Chains A and B, each alone.
Chain A
């Protein structure tokens, strides 16, 4: 793809959008409509700058249910790819999100804390944040996604290292009935989803189930092209099967919800020296949670929130053969991980003292199961069996102190104690200056940590006879300090401008390397990273539903030797547009990712990626049709492989089409 046509189209787009904005600013007199009509009409959220976001000690990005629908995003990763400054990657097994252009391949997003309604989704073994098909919630169930870049450890503790993603689920009242949708697409994509919910008599309930499958792509990996290795071909080995279920019931102050998701993904990339093109190569991720929320106003200005979560995670990796031993090794190596934990949190929000808003909280998490097992399926011989249950206890406090109408001081700190690993104290300081009702400047400092995972600390396959991985019990937590300045301004014409300058330093970064002494893969606290960057964004929503957002991020991340950090592009640009076409609506997104260095010393070239979605108006019968094209210009691009891959570059998906139809009744 040459750059020229895209820019022409963009210019057209912008021109069209500008025209709309001017043409449709007249205000209709809606008081002539009946109350019934008003309550049943579809509305567009106002261009606004909510107080909570304005006063938050970070530059929050919010993705709404409406945007998810208008752009047809099927995974959390696809939605988060539109957040300013994020870089995404896919290794055909998992999707990765790197805030502020920083991404560690193969780290299962341990640098991000993923919450669903405030409940920690990161599992207790790998601490991974599932972002692709493995994310356990259907996108249709999301009310909004809040993305908070920067360190969040002063409130959330472990893993809130580079950012926090909080997914807020929809209420049953927002359904007030049943919704069913089906999707069919290229590469064998099939999907069905049904949900039902309602509210009344002080109750709110929602139930949802879905199933999706796809065949994926065929691949050829020249690096693995050997006669005993299927000549580097991985055909029909990219399929994915996802089943999910969700339910909640809210009664007064108490909500109980449950979610369950099972994702099986064939893996064409032959990681960890397995054989290419073997149909048994497969990954499975199963997440289950039962959670209870209790929110109660004790007195005016004093609120208590209690949260309990019972989490369960199962991971399976079937890895056929070992190409370091003998090509054509028929053995199947199966890794199973079983995690189960209990998490309890209590938080009090006290706004009784004038000018202050105090938050006090405690959190306790205990592993009920933390098991990593490896079995040679052919001989039945186990090669790994590691149990490492731990518990974590934390206390935190925060105060929002209004010093004057202009200045707000946000002070917070949290102390986490990880059994067997020690403690971590993480403060945050935010000074928020309300220069005018439309302009806010934030000066922020914060630190965060990421504790080493059970996998990084202890996993080894020593009993296999052909050991390729070893544990490192001396691993310490990674630490980060971030300094940031953010300017947010809403112009008189309702353009929202955001500018951010940031600098952060990471020490003791946990990296997987191949030990030169025994050539085994091992995690070490190896690097220091220092990064600086700036981000700019302009956004506007028009009354007719037109929405435009453009952002540009520049960043430079270097290690202690002054070398550019791998997988981190220095430029990221994004464009998001929603345009009404008569009664239809078109969504378009374009992302530019700058060149990224790989661990192999070469680099993945920079590229533009454009996706489009076209949505028909909801028919009288409640049906809604949409068409989505991903990678519209069939751009060839690669994501860098991780340490477990022989390939330094992993080719990604070309153009794909999907047609969807939704019924609401």
Chain B
């Protein structure tokens, strides 16, 4: 009985080796979140249109893997401009950024940044590891799906406009 189980197991492991090239399309969390952030920036309208040469996305996180995933978006086009992804520290000036991604950092640092950007036309996307009041979009992982919530008041306060499609796809929209 035992040997037949071992034989079965060997078969399974063999299948694993052979199956490696055809592995299913399971995506890595950070890659999906980065792509969602990119799509959200496509769905956003800034008050003065996109007259800049470069479209800036600023990334503040202690998590290197997420920063790497976002930096791979660099060079893509957003509203006719070239996307530039910059990694920033919480102390940096973020006024020149169109999109700010807030990842892992202390709660105090997050609150400071959100306070600094309040009312400015900057799309603030926060990863939902911590509560971030004032962020327009919160990206979250529920079960095995990436989701986002929108705070519409924060969007309006910043004079941004979000495409209704983004609102429709959000898990929740806070009015």
CB–CB A41/B111 < 8 A: no
What residues of B have a CB within 8 angstroms of the CB of A34 in the complex? 39
What residues of A have a CB within 8 angstroms of the CB of B36 in the complex? 35, 38-39
Verify if B156 is at the interface (C-beta below 8 Å from A). no
Interface size class of B (residues with CB under 8 A): 35 or more
Which stretch in A103-111, A166-174, A232-240 binds the other chain? A166-174
Verify if A44 is at the interface (C-beta below 8 Å from B). yes
What residues of A have a CB within 8 angstroms of the CB of B105 in the complex? 51
Give min CB distance, A159 to chain B, whole Å.
29
CB–CB A39/B146 < 8 A: yes
Give min CB distance, A419 to chain B, whole Å.
37
Interchain CB contact (< 8 A) of A39 among B69, B129, B169: B169
* Per-residue interface assignment for chain A, residues 1 to 18, with 1 indicating a CB less than 8 Å from any chain B CB and 0 otherwise: 100010001001100100
Verify if A19 is at the interface (C-beta below 8 Å from B). yes
What residues of B have a CB within 8 angstroms of the CB of A31 in the complex? 35, 38-39, 73, 76
Task: Identify the closest chain B residue to A34 (Cβ).
Answer: B39
What residues of B have a CB within 8 angstroms of the CB of A494 in the complex? 65
How many angstroms from the CA of A20 to the CA of B13 in the assembled complex? 12
CB–CB A16/B169 < 8 A: no
* Per-residue interface assignment for chain A, residues 612 to 633, with 1 indicating a CB less than 8 Å from any chain B CB and 0 otherwise: 1010010000000000010011
Task: Identify the closest chain A residue to B171 (Cβ).
Answer: A173
Give min CB distance, B147 to chain A, whole Å.
7
CB–CB B65/A47 < 8 A: yes
Known: A39-B145, A46-B29, A202-B172. A579 touches B16 (CB 8 A): yes
What residues of A have a CB within 8 angstroms of the CB of B38 in the complex? 31
Known: A5-B6, A38-B35, A42-B144. A301 touches B24 (CB 8 A): no
Which stretch in A181-189, A207-215, A218-226, A581-589 binds the other chain? A581-589
What residues of B have a CB within 8 angstroms of the CB of A40 in the complex? 145
What residues of B have a CB within 8 angstroms of the CB of A35 in the complex? 36, 39, 43, 165-166, 169
How many angstroms from the CA of A334 to the CA of B172 in the assembled complex? 53
Verify if B93 is at the interface (C-beta below 8 Å from A). no
How many angstroms from the CA of A50 to the CA of B17 in the assembled complex? 32
Give min CB distance, B6 to chain A, whole Å.
6
Interchain CB contact (< 8 A) of A41 among B20, B32, B64, B165: B32
- A residues 561-580 in Cβ contact with B at 8 Å: 579-580
Verify if A325 is at the interface (C-beta below 8 Å from B). no
Verify if A43 is at the interface (C-beta below 8 Å from B). yes
How many angstroms from the CA of A633 to the CA of B1 in the assembled complex? 9
What residues of B have a CB within 8 angstroms of the CB of A47 in the complex? 65
How many angstroms from the CA of A303 to the CA of B65 in the assembled complex? 30
Verify if B154 is at the interface (C-beta below 8 Å from A). no
Verify if B133 is at the interface (C-beta below 8 Å from A). yes
- Interface SS of chain B: helix
CB–CB B26/A580 < 8 A: yes
Which stretch in A21-29, A90-98, A591-599 binds the other chain? A21-29
Verify if B106 is at the interface (C-beta below 8 Å from A). yes
How many angstroms from the CA of A541 to the CA of B72 in the assembled complex? 21
CB–CB B16/A30 < 8 A: no
CB–CB A582/B143 < 8 A: no
Verify if A465 is at the interface (C-beta below 8 Å from B). no
Verify if A606 is at the interface (C-beta below 8 Å from B). no
Give the residue among A9, A13, A44 with the most B Cβ atoms within 10 A.
A44
Give min CB distance, A492 to chain B, whole Å.
9
Interchain CB contact (< 8 A) of B24 among A43, A46, A586, A617: A617
What residues of B have a CB within 8 angstroms of the CB of A202 in the complex? 172
CB–CB A199/B172 < 8 A: yes
Give min CB distance, A385 to chain B, whole Å.
49
Give min CB distance, A454 to chain B, whole Å.
40
Give the residue among B1, B43, B63 with the most A Cβ atoms within 10 A.
B63
CB–CB A50/B73 < 8 A: no
Verify if A474 is at the interface (C-beta below 8 Å from B). no
Known: A12-B10, A27-B72, A612-B9. A43 touches B145 (CB 8 A): yes
- B residues 142-167 in Cβ contact with A at 8 Å: 142-147, 165-166
Give min CB distance, B119 to chain A, whole Å.
16
CB–CB B31/A30 < 8 A: yes
Task: Identify the closest chain B residue to A143 (Cβ).
Answer: B143
CB–CB A580/B16 < 8 A: yes
* Per-residue interface assignment for chain B, residues 32 to 55, with 1 indicating a CB less than 8 Å from any chain A CB and 0 otherwise: 101110110001000000000000
Verify if A251 is at the interface (C-beta below 8 Å from B). no
CB–CB A36/B142 < 8 A: no
What residues of A have a CB within 8 angstroms of the CB of B171 in the complex? 173, 199
- A residues 449-469 in Cβ contact with B at 8 Å: none
What residues of A have a CB within 8 angstroms of the CB of B76 in the complex? 31
How many angstroms from the CA of A16 to the CA of B9 in the assembled complex? 13
Give min CB distance, A399 to chain B, whole Å.
14
* Per-residue interface assignment for chain A, residues 529 to 553, with 1 indicating a CB less than 8 Å from any chain B CB and 0 otherwise: 0000000000000011100000000
Known: A27-B72, A31-B35, A300-B111. A65 touches B20 (CB 8 A): no
Give min CB distance, A453 to chain B, whole Å.
38
Interchain CB contact (< 8 A) of A12 among B13, B32, B104, B166: B13
Known: A42-B27, A43-B141. A437 touches B15 (CB 8 A): no
What residues of A have a CB within 8 angstroms of the CB of B66 in the complex? 46
- 8 pairs, CB–CB < 8 Å, chain A vs chain B: A9-B13, A20-B23, A39-B36, A39-B146, A51-B106, A297-B131, A297-B133, A544-B23
Residues of A near any B CB (own CB < 8 A): 1, 5, 9, 12-13, 16, 19-20, 23-24, 27-28, 30-31, 33-36, 38-48, 50-52, 65-66, 170-171, 173-175, 199-200, 202, 297, 300-301, 303, 351, 354, 357, 402, 437, 494, 543-545, 579-583, 586, 612, 614, 617, 629, 632-634
- Which 10 residue pairs are nearest across A and B when measured between Cβ atoms? A582-B19, A30-B35, A174-B143, A35-B39, A174-B142, A583-B24, A46-B29, A43-B29, A42-B144, A581-B16
Given A174-B142, A586-B12, 10 extra CB contacts under 8 A: A9-B13, A12-B10, A27-B31, A35-B165, A51-B104, A52-B129, A65-B143, A171-B142, A582-B15, A632-B5
